[in-house]
Structure 1
């Protein structure tokens, strides 16, 4: 059995944000996999530094205006879409005035991390999954890239596990060297509660719930891990390995990307029947 539908959930994608290892892969991997015949969908946050006019983003009214409750507060979900020039890749953007429109990425204009980055990640995760449901699309594999996607595996395997779109979906998480230095916000623990996910699900992690705990949370609910680059924290790779998860390294040569990821997706998806 082979995976044929891959949902890419990316923290960054070039050309919408400045080039980096993560943003380049956010574009490169979906494009390579799509050209190989896979059906894909791609999501990212609508960061405040994205130029909507230049990127030709427009709101998808039929998918927008749902209210997501985060820590007992209603937050409207806005969905925008654009196509990457010279490709067949359509990108869906998760937007909200409080979490994204008026903000930059992980840090503000002064280089200070936002104190509610954890809540932003939760809103992003739920916004993506609710939108995929509305699209009536059933991914075989979800591939998450970046800390902003760290709550996705948890929700797929718990709150959304009985949804038809995700009942048999496997989750792959890519780990990068980029790390948040500050905390995730005082409200993170309460904000993560949704459906059968209660705040005490985080009791097994450190009380202050650091970036390292966020990465461990993603690993705990993932089916496979990709190590991107040589500078990924060895402690977090060791954690994934000790849990018995399959771990691969992103290939150094571009020509090896397609086969490496195809084989990994199929291996992960095949485990459904094991």
Structure 2
């Protein structure tokens, strides 16, 4: 059997975006994945805050040129790549001038939420699926980090369920804070619908009171991780996590390296490749 293939999909990552628990974990993970002898690829948005010259981003022409349809409009998808400092790994960036040229990430300079964050999320999530197809690289594990990746579990299990590239993929959704749900609600079901998704598929993201990205993502994920230890006292979230039939992992340490090392055991358990004691 060849190397296990792990796809990391993250909305943030050091050193490209400001420090956050998402960006820290996404940066630490590749070290452990490569130590385990796994093959890894990393996808994230090319936010306008990322300095292309400093980080030496350049376009991957063979991967670019696709158009992604969002809410009946076409948007060109440009793929860029850079070498991750301190590691022999490449990070792939999904770019589009309409969504990612601005010099802020989720809010403008006056701290107002961008009104098109839903469209940006849909573009990114569908763009991830199409980019992996273009790689021709079938992942064994897809590990999603951040609310901006929360549609990928649905897309994987419904819109791309018959695609051979994703046939054996196990999807892990890491839970972090999702602070913009109220601002994303306007026509969410319509905007997030791609390919031939049915309205009932997307209703999993509604909890009766409004939009709940974690609820929808957990319904379709094969497993989940409490990515942000700061959420361990959120009783409503923990109840949601434990109510799912899928396995979940809660780190038992506050040390970042130990936390991420624990993910490796969870990866192996999920793919049934742990060595019997």
With the length of structure 1 as denominator, give the TM-score of the two structures.
0.91
CA distance in 1, matches of 2:198, 2:210: 15
Q: Is the Cα–Cα contact under 8 Å of residues 106 and 113 in structure 2 kept in the other structure? A: yes
Inter-CA distance 22–80: structure 2 relative to 1 (3 Å threshold):
same
Q: Is the Cα–Cα contact under 8 Å of residues 107 and 114 in structure 1 kept in the other structure? A: yes
Tell me the residue number matched to 1:217: 216
Report SS of the residue matched to 2:44: strand
Structure 1 unaligned regions, length at least 5: none
CA distance in 2, matches of 1:188, 1:127: 18
Cα distance per residue 1:105-152 (max 9 Å; x no partner)? 111111111122122111101111111111110110100010010001
Q: Is the Cα–Cα contact under 8 Å of residues 3 and 266 in structure 1 kept in the other structure? A: no
Tell me the residue number matched to 1:252: 254
Q: Is the Cα–Cα contact under 8 Å of residues 125 and 152 in structure 2 kept in the other structure? A: yes
Tell me the residue number matched to 1:169: 169
Tell me the residue number matched to 1:240: 241
Match of 1:266 among 265, 268, 271: 268
Tell me the residue number matched to 1:59: 59
CA distance in 1, matches of 2:160, 2:103: 28
CA distance in 1, matches of 2:176, 2:196: 30
Structure 1 residues 10-89: aligned runs within 5 Å: 10-89=10-89
Inter-CA distance 178–191: structure 2 relative to 1 (3 Å threshold):
closer
CA distance in 1, matches of 2:64, 2:235: 40
Structure 1 residues 124-139: aligned runs within 5 Å: 124-139=124-139
Tell me the residue number matched to 1:226: 225
Tell me the residue number matched to 1:106: 106
Report SS of the residue matched to 1:165: helix
Q: Is the Cα–Cα contact under 8 Å of residues 157 and 221 in structure 1 kept in the other structure? A: yes
Cα distance per residue 1:86-111 (max 9 Å; x no partner)? 21121000111111122521111111
CA RMSD of aligned residues (A): 2.1
CA distance in 2, matches of 1:23, 1:40: 17
Q: Is the Cα–Cα contact under 8 Å of residues 216 and 236 in structure 1 kept in the other structure? A: no
Q: Is the Cα–Cα contact under 8 Å of residues 175 and 225 in structure 1 kept in the other structure? A: yes
CA distance in 1, matches of 2:116, 2:238: 26
CA distance in 2, matches of 1:43, 1:83: 12
Give 1:186 shift: 2.1
Q: Is the Cα–Cα contact under 8 Å of residues 47 and 100 in structure 1 kept in the other structure? A: yes
Report SS of the residue matched to 1:63: coil
Structure 1 residues 120-199: aligned runs within 5 Å: 120-177=120-177, 179-180=179-180, 182-199=182-199
Q: Is the Cα–Cα contact under 8 Å of residues 2 and 270 in structure 1 kept in the other structure? A: no
Give 1:270 shift: 2.5
Cα distance per residue 1:174-199 (max 9 Å; x no partner)? 11235226421523211222223123
With the length of structure 2 as denominator, give the TM-score of the two structures.
0.90
Aligned length: 269
Give 1:168 shift: 1.4
Give 1:259 shift: 4.3
